Structure 1
C-alpha cells in the first residue's frame, strides 16, 4: 500500500539514523546540555541570522506550542489564531488546559490569518472584563497548505507592533513553506518573537527546535519546559538530529523533495480534470474525487478525508514527505486515471 496519509509515517532519513548509530555509545550529558545540542544551536542560529537566539529542543509540535504559550503569556492573556489553526483544532484543548483562551478567527484563503482579523480581535477585547489578546499564532505552512509570503509576514509584524502583540509561528511544516518560496529563515529570525523549526515532519525521528528571539521571553524558559514535561533526559538525541538536518543543506533538500512530489500529484490530477478544494504549493494537496473512484483506490492507497462537498464527492488530503517515491506518485495517478476511465460520468 502507498500512503499519502501524512509526512511522518516513515522513521527517519538514513543520514539521521546513521548519525544516531554513530553517536549511540558516546555517553553524553543529559537534558540537552551536550555538545551535539550546542553545535545544533550554533548551526540554527547561523541559519536564521540570529546569533543571539535562544534555541531549545522539544519532542513534538503540540508540546512546543503548549510550552511556548505557557511560558510567554500571563494568566489572563490569550492567543489569536485562525479557526483552522493547529492550536484550535488538533491539540485537544492543550492551550486552554494551560489556562489561556484561543480566540479563533475565520481563516482567510489558504488558512491564513490577516492583519485585519488580528485588529478586529484586539478591538473586540477592550478591557479587563475579557481576556487580553497577547499572542498571534500562525502556522507556516498552514493546515490547508497555505504559505505566508515575506510581505504577509511583515504586515502581521506591523499589526503586532501596533497592538503590542507577540508573533509566534508554528513551523511543523516549515521546510515545505521554505521550499514553496515562503518567508526565509532569516526573515523569521527578524520578524517573529519566537518560532519553531519542525523536524518530526521533515526527516527526523522526532523533534522541534524552538527559536526565541525576543529577549523578554527568554528568562526561565527551561523551567517551564521541565515543569510541562518537555525536557527529554536523552536530549542529545534531538541535538544529533538537528546537527544533521542543518549540515550540508539537508533540511532544505528534504522539504524541496516533498514539495516536488506533491506538485507532481497536483499537475497529474489537474490534467485528469480533478478539481481541488484550495490551491496549494506545499506538500499538502486537497483534491475532490468521486466516491466511486475513491472506493476503487482504497485497497492500494491511504489518505485522510477532509470533507464532503456533496453526496457523491469527497475532499481528501494527500501529503508527501522526504521519503515519498516517484513510483508512489505515478501509481496513484495511474490508478486515478483508470478509475475515472471506468466511471466516465464521475467528474
Structure 2
C-alpha cells in the first residue's frame, strides 16, 4: 500500500544522509555552534537578503510555533488564526496550554485576509475585559494546499503594522508554496513582509528540522533562553545544521518541492480530465479532490490517504499529498486505478 497521507513518510534525501554519514566522526562544538549550522545560516541569510537575520534550528513545526508564540506574546495577548490553522486544529492545544487564546476566523480556502484581521481588532476593543490581539499566524502553503500571493501578504503586513501586530508565517510547506505555478513570492519577500517565519525541512526532504528566521535582532532578543528553557536547544545541533546546509546547496530545497508539486499536478490534471472537482484549487503538493464514497472505499484498499470532509451522502473530499520522493510512475498508476474505478462506478 502506498502512503499519500503525508509528505514525511520517507526518511531523508540521499544527499542529506551522505553528508550526515561523511561528517559523522568529525568533532564539532555543540548547541548549534558547529560550523555546519553557521554555514547553513549564512546560506539562508543570502537567500533572504538579510545578512543580520537571527536564525534558529529546531526539530519540528509544532515546536517552532510554540516557541515563537510563547517568546513574542505577553500573558494577556492572543494570536489570530484561520480555523484550519495548524496551531488551532492540529497541535493538541499547545498554544492554549501556554496561556494564549487563539482567535479564529472562518476561511473557505485556509487563508486569512486583511478584512478578517480588521474584524477581529474591532471585536476586541473592550479593554481590559477581552484579550489583546497581538499576532497574526498564517501558513504558506496553507493547511488546504493554497498559497498566498504577494499582494495578499503585503495587505496582511500593512494591517499588522497599522495595529501593531506581529506577523508570523508557518512555513512547514514553504518550499511547496514558493515553487507553486501560481506563486509570485520569493523567500526574500517572505522575510521582508513578516516579522518571523520558519522554513520547513521535515516535509521537504530532511530527516527533521525547521529553521526559524526573525526579521530583526530585537525581535529575537533572549530567544536562546526560550530554546533552552523549553528543551529545544539540541546538544548535537550539527544534525540540523548539516541538513539545512545541504538543502540550501545547489537549490536542493526548491528542487525537492518542485518534484512534489509536479507529481501532485500530474494527479490533479488527470482528476480534472475525469471531471472531478476540488475542495480548494490544486496549487501545491496537497490535493483535496471530491470523489464518490464507493470509489474512495475501493482506492483505500491500495492507497493510504485521509478522508478530509463529507460533502454529501455519496461524496467526500479526500486529501492526497505527494512528496519529494513520490514516484511519478506510481502517481500515474494511482490515476489509472482511479479512472478504472470511476468508469466502473458510472456504469452501475
* Bin for the TM-score computed over the shorter chain: over 0.9
CA contact (8 A) 2:54 2:216 kept: no
Q: In 2, are the aligned partners of 1:307 and 1:315 still within 8 Å (CA)?
A: yes
* Cα separation, 1, equivalents of 2:220 and 2:296: 49
Task: Note if contact 2:52-2:216 (Cα within 8 Å) is conserved in structure 1.
Answer: no
Please show how residues 222-241 of structure 1 align to structure 2 within 5 Å: 222-241=224-243
Query: Structure 1 residues 22-31 or 67-76, which shifts more?
Result: 22-31
- Residues in 1 aligned to 2:217 and 2:109: alpha-carbon distance in whole angstroms: 32
Q: Is the 8 A contact 1:49 1:186 kept in 2?
A: yes
Measured after TM superposition, the shift of residue 294 of structure 1 is 1.6
- Structure 1 residue 110: Cα displacement: 2.1
CA root-mean-square deviation:
1.0
Deviation, structure 1 residue 90: 0.3
Q: Which runs of 5+ in 1 are unaligned?
A: none
Select which of 185, 190, 193 maps to 2:192.
Answer: 190
CA distance in 2, matches of 1:106, 1:341: 36
SS state at 2:311 partner? strand
Please state how far the C-alpha of 1:295 moved relative to its aligned partner.
Answer: 2.0
The match for 1:245 among 232, 244, 247 is 247
Structure 1 contact 147–182 (Cα < 8 Å) conserved: no
Instruction: Give the aligned partner of residue 69 of structure 2.
Output: 69
Q: SS state of the match for residue 218, structure 2?
A: helix
Corresponding residue of 1:116: 115
Partner of 2:287: 285
Quote the residue 2:330 is aligned against: 328
Q: Deviations over 1:287-341 (max 9, x none)?
A: 1111111222122111111011112112100001100111111110010111112
Measured in 1, the distance between the counterparts of 2:133 and 2:5 equals 35
Does structure 2 conserve the Cα–Cα contact (< 8 Å) formed by 1:111 and 1:143? Answer: yes
Match of 2:32 in 1: 32
Rounded to whole Å, the distance in 2 between the matches of 1:176 and 1:323 is 14
**Structure 2 counterpart SS, 1:216:** coil
Structure 1 counterpart of 2:272: 270
Query: SS in structure 1 opposite 2:279?
Result: coil
Tell me if the contact between 1:110 and 1:147 (Cα under 8 Å) persists in the aligned partners: no
For normalisation by structure 1, the TM-score amounts to: 0.97
More displaced, 61-70 or 181-190? 181-190
What SS does structure 1 have at the residue aligned with 2:10? coil
> Which stretches of structure 1, 4 residues or more, deviate above 6 A after TM superposition?
none
Give the Å deviation of 1:25: 1.1
Q: In 2, are the aligned partners of 1:38 and 1:239 still within 8 Å (CA)?
A: yes
Q: CA deviation at 1:283?
A: 0.5
- Is 1:132 paired with 2:132? yes
Distance 1:198 1:148 in 2: 16
Give 1:345 shift.
5.5
Q: CA deviation at 1:66?
A: 0.2
**In structure 2, what is the Cα distance between the partners aligned to 1:297 and 1:158?**
45
Length, aligned pairs only: 345
CA distance in 2, matches of 1:182, 1:18: 33
How far apart in 2 are the matches of 1:30 and 1:295? 50
Q: Work out whether residues 83 and 104 of structure 1, in 8 Å CA contact, stay in contact via their aligned partners in 2.
A: yes
Query: In the TM superposition, what are the counterparts of 1:1-347 in structure 2 within 5 Å?
Result: 1-107=1-107, 109-126=108-125, 127-180=127-180, 181-344=183-346
Deviations 1:75-97 (A, max 9, x none): 11110111110011000010111
Give, in angstroms, the shift of residue 216 of structure 1: 2.7
| SS class of match (1:80) | strand
**SS class of match (2:266):** helix
Secondary structure of 1:110's counterpart equals coil
TM-score normalised by the chain length of structure 2? 0.97
Query: Equivalents in 1 of 2:6, 2:36: separation in Å?
Result: 29
Whether contact under 8 Å (1:290, 1:313) holds in the other structure is: yes
